[in-house]
């Protein structure tokens, strides 16, 4: 979907503008890993949401899902930049 790709591209750019952290974007199954029953599925199927996105944390695998304390605030700041972009540009 071109609207989703455009929104994701803009959110990734907004995140990168904060600290230079680079993220990939695209469908979960081809960008991260194959999965079912995720919060994206729930948002669409149960709540009827028009949009649903997944954002992974900035760690690249060294720490798993446990960010070092020094990365928690920067991760939140850049994630908020991406969310603000999405909220400002969703129809």
- Catalytic positions, please? 56
Q: What is the residue-wise DSSP string for 15-82?
A: HHHHH------S-HHHHT---SS-HHHHHHHTT--S-------S--SSSTT---HHHHHHHHHHHHHH
**How far is Cα 54 from Cα 90, in angstroms, rounded to an integer?**
15
Candidates 41, 45, 50; CA nearest to 91 is 50
């Amino acid at each position: 979907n071109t609207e989703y790709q455009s929104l994701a591209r803009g959110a990734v750019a907004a995140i990168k503008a904060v600290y230079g952290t680079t993220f990939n974007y695209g469908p979960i199954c081809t960008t991260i890993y194959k999965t079912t029953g995720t919060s994206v599925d729930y948002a669409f199927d149960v709540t009827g949401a028009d949009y649903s996105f997944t954002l992974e944390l900035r760690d690249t695998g060294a720490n798993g899902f446990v960010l070092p304390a020094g990365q928690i605030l920067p991760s939140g700041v850049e994630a908020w930049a991406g969310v603000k972009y999405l909220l400002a540009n969703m129809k």
